[in-house]
Structure 1
Amino acid sequence: MDHQQQPAGESESSTGAPGRRPAAMREINYRHSSQFVPLLEHLGCSLLVSTYAAGKVVSIGANDGRLHLGFSNFQQAMGIAPPHQTVQPGGVTTSSIAVGGPNVIWFLRDGAALAQQVDPAGAYDRAFLARESFVTGNIHVHEMQWGDDGQLWIVNTLFSCLSTLHAEFNFVPRWQPPFISELAPQDRCHLNGMAMQYGKPRYVSALGESDAARGWRENKSDGGVLIDVPSGQTIARGFCMPHSPRLHGGRLFLLDSGRGKLVTIDQQSGRAEDVASYPGYGRGLAFYDRYAFVGMSRARETSVFGGVPICEDRTAMRCGVVVIDWMTGQSLAFVEFESGVEELFDVQVIAGSRRTVLCGPYPREDEQRPVWVVPLADQVDAIVDVGEGVCVQRNRIC
């Protein structure tokens, strides 16, 4: 096992306001298994992991036989929409990711051509730069995925619905489970996860089938369900606080979070079969070929987790990412946060990138040099003096 320590600037009461300097340093200790770095290097990929209590998106990469972690501040970071290509005006193709927070969704544009110039120069091969934010209000954003039309689909947990965005509104409700009778900010069923198929939502997970405000809490030990979106039918029941449904390799997967299990579900019969167990409360699931990357959390000491099987032995619970061969059920490698991070929400794979950097909305808190992207000189009448920092022009640091 390798043990490492990483200071990550953040105040315990930080609001993430721009320009505010963190009042304290959060020390994050982590360790990883001997196979974690070789596996990432073999796959040629990196990870993005969100943690809402610590208010970070963590980039995890490996090169030259070493594990590298970067921490970017995003207040109460939840769902991460993975890279999605869009065509901009003029026919320019770009790739973007999105990060959900308590009141806003951040959009980060791919700056791959600039990655190696981000400080420290030459360290990164992929960069995502914060470009826009959209104010949703506190709708309890959970998972997010891009649709085939470029729209961002959002699991709107507070209003028990799937939503998209529109400039005139905080959100546009697009779908609700049939047992939800009205659009109300009451977290009735704790809708939380979404699996896409052919660019459209296909399955969603919820912690219960309640139509009462926070009614899902009454039967959380085995009231979890998986719902087919097109038909509205519940195809599988009996899960303990399920999360992160995914379609991969012709199979339907789900995290039976409260039992610490990765399961696969027959789409016709709804029958669930265990694939693997892991020592944590599962949230966040991403795939690369035959490898499943599962996010694990330590459960908080709250009434929400009372009676949940995985919490019976809290001392055995771990926070981190475990890599599972879903074809054999074997756990192959892991990275674990020993202190400073207690829970994770989402996990995404960045294919083709060994080390990804996020240039987020708060570079000072991230202890990064600011980066600006500006038009070419012949595109504007004058270039404004931007002062000290880093100005990116013609895909160069200047």
Structure 2
Amino acid sequence: MSKVPTATAATDKPTGEAPVAPPTAKQPATSLTVSRGFADWLRANRTSFAFTSYQTGQLFLVGVTPNGTVSFNQQNFTRAMGVCYQPGRLYLGSLHQIWRLENMLRPGQLGNQHFDMVLVPRNAQTTGDVDVHEVGTDAAGRVIFVNTKYSCLATLDLNHSFRPIWKPAYISKLAPEDRCHLNGMAMDQGKPRYVTAVSRSDIVTGWRERRHEGGVLIEVETDRVVTDQLSMPHSPRVHGDSIIVLDSGRGQIVRVDPASGARSDIAFCPGFLRGMSIHNGHALVTVSKPRNGTFAGLALDDALKARDAEPWCGILIVNLASGDIVEWVRLEGHITELFDVAAMPNVVCPMSIGPDTMEIRSTITFDATIAPLAA
């Protein structure tokens, strides 16, 4: 195995109440601040995590080094969107491809003395620009993704850009029109169980006139609308007997009863919510600052004003039992919008290698066992 390249931190001058690993390369001006107990929370909950910024086209891996500093590893993937972690593997949706990254380390190995996972891009399936949002895998290991441009769930196809596997009943035709802004997918017991969409529109970009109300949570198997009382919902997740979903237009993490559709608020978050990962009774969520006009007409705008607050860009860790924001990462500067987040249980300090870097050319591993030729 070749020498693993040094990780790149995400800021040129990181600051914070907890120590942050120093950068090794100049980056656009963005500072990261982490809460005082952030590193301890990661260690106590035996996890690291990945998050993405489609705005700047970056994948971040966050962990804790042996000396207790927080490590931010950053690599470029154009329009980085949905991310899905499976043990030793990471799937990442981007502008026109879905990437598969594999851990190159053998058991017991470390990269650069302290990275216990080094993820290398091994495959990129070309889908074309179909606006891939969330990504998951089913019981058979198939990649399932939210194909937002064509208003459907899809899987990969060896010959074509994608193979549709489900669409909402109200969508009359698969067309590249982003009719309802289908965006979130809850995987449960190896299959897609619920999805979110901003509206039930069936015309080109019809959802844009329905941002403030009418957002839906749909049960995939039955096409049943569990609730249509959401505002720009994202990222449904099955949690016990409930569904946790981001009611993004209101700035709330909510709990939904799958039978009745009854909704109860868990926590208000100061920013536009898009991605969520649940780990050990906590929700890791991404919040973003608004683009021009994004919050206009949304309850989130009024909620921020009522709290005399400015929107954040960052990661919030929320206790689902109490609704308390227990730890956080805050980004200030160049990066203002994030997309998805995925917990990486039992990984302490991960890093990745970018697809268009000098490092990937010289990072070569192979199994030295010579396989016999077929008879």
Q: Same fold (TM over 0.5)?
A: yes
Change (3 A) 1:233 1:378: closer
Q: Which residue of 2 aligns with 1:190?
A: 181
Alignment of 1:139-178 (within 5 A): 139-178=130-169
The match for 1:339 is 333
**Structure 1: runs of 5 or more not aligned:** 10-23, 85-94, 382-398
- Residue 103 of structure 1 is aligned with which of 96, 109, 114? 96
8 Å Cα contact 1:223/1:240 also seen in 2: yes
Kindly state the Cα deviation for residue 275 of structure 1 after the two structures are TM-superposed: 0.6
1:232 to 223, 240, 243: 223
Partner of 1:311: 301
**Quick check: 1:376 aligned with 2:363?**
no
2:21–2:70 Cα contact (<8 Å) kept = no
Q: Look up the match of 2:73.
A: 70
Q: Contact 1:30–1:339 at 8 Å: present in 2 too?
A: no
Conserved 8 A contact 1:282-1:294: yes
Matched, 1:208 2:202: no
Question: What is the distance in 2 between the residues matched to 1:244 and 1:198?
Answer: 17
Q: Does the CA contact (< 8 Å) of 1:5 and 1:28 recur in 2? A: no
Q: Is the 8 A contact 2:50 2:59 kept in 1?
A: yes
Q: What SS does the corresponding residue of 1:317 show, helix, strand or coil?
A: coil
- Cα 1:207–1:137 change in 2 (3 A) is same
Secondary structure, counterpart of 1:263 in structure 2: strand
Give the corresponding residue for 2:355: 361
Q: What's the Cα RMSD here?
A: 2.2
Aligned twin of 2:17:
2
Q: Deviations over 1:23-75 (max 9, x none)?
A: x8412201011111110111121010011111101111124332111101111
Structure-1 separation of matches of 2:196 and 2:344: 24
Corresponding residue SS for 2:207: helix
- What residue number does 1:244 align with? 235
Partner of 2:287: 296
Question: How far does the alpha carbon of each residue in 1:310-329 deviate from its partner, in whole angstroms, 9 at most, with x for none?
Answer: 23558610011111110111
On the 8 A contact 2:110/2:116 being kept in 1, the answer is no
Gaps spanning 5+ residues in structure 2: where? 1-15
Q: For 1:152 and 1:104, how far apart are their aligned partners in 2?
A: 12
Answering whether residue 82 of structure 2 is matched by residue 82 of structure 1, we say: no
Deviation at residue 370 of structure 1 after TM alignment:
3.6
Q: Say if 2:130 is the partner of 1:127.
A: no
In the other structure, the counterpart of 2:40 is 38
Distance 1:40 1:218 in 2: 40
Q: Secondary structure at the match of 1:166?
A: coil
> What letter matches 1:103 in structure 2?
H
Tell me which residue corresponds to 1:394: none
Which structure has the highest strand share of the two?
A: 1
Change (3 A) 1:247 1:301: same
Secondary structure in 2 aligned to 1:222? coil
Q: Post-superposition shift, 1:308?
A: 1.9
- Secondary structure of the residue aligned to 1:258 is coil
**What CA distance in whole angstroms lies between the structure 2 residues aligned with 1:350 and 1:180?**
35
Look up the match of 2:31. Answer: 29
SS of the residue aligned with 1:149?
Answer: coil
- Is the CA contact 2:45–2:280 (under 8 Å) kept in the aligned structure 1? no
Structure 2 residue 318 is matched with structure 1 residue 324: yes
For the residue of structure 1 that corresponds to 2:134, the secondary structure is strand
Distance of 1:350 and 1:356 partners within structure 2: 9
What is the Cα deviation at residue 292 of structure 1?
Answer: 1.1
Secondary structure, in 3 states, of the residue corresponding to 2:204?
coil
State the SS of the aligned residue for 1:181. Answer: coil
Q: Which amino acid aligns with 1:135?
A: T
Indicate if the aligned counterparts of 1:28 and 1:338 stay in contact, CA closer than 8 A: yes
In the alignment, which of 54, 57, 60 is matched to residue 55 of structure 1? Answer: 57
The residue identity in structure 2 corresponding to 1:218 is E
Given residue 73 of structure 2, which amino acid in structure 1 is its aligned partner? G
Q: Name the amino acid aligned to 1:345.
A: F
SS of residue matched to 2:40: helix
Deviation at 1:110, TM superposition (A): 2.3
CA contact (8 A) 1:292 1:324 kept: yes
Pair 1:101–1:353, CA change in 2 (3 A): same
Q: Pick closer, same or farther for the CA change 1:257–1:115 going to 2, 3 Å.
A: farther
CA distance in 2, matches of 1:223, 1:329: 25
**Alignment equivalent of 1:271, drawn from 233, 240, 262:** 262
> How far does residue 269 in structure 1 lie from its aligned partner after superposition?
0.4
TM-aligned CA distance change 1:340 to 1:326, over 3 Å: same
TM-score (norm 1): 0.83
Among 241, 249, 270, which residue is 1:258 paired with?
249
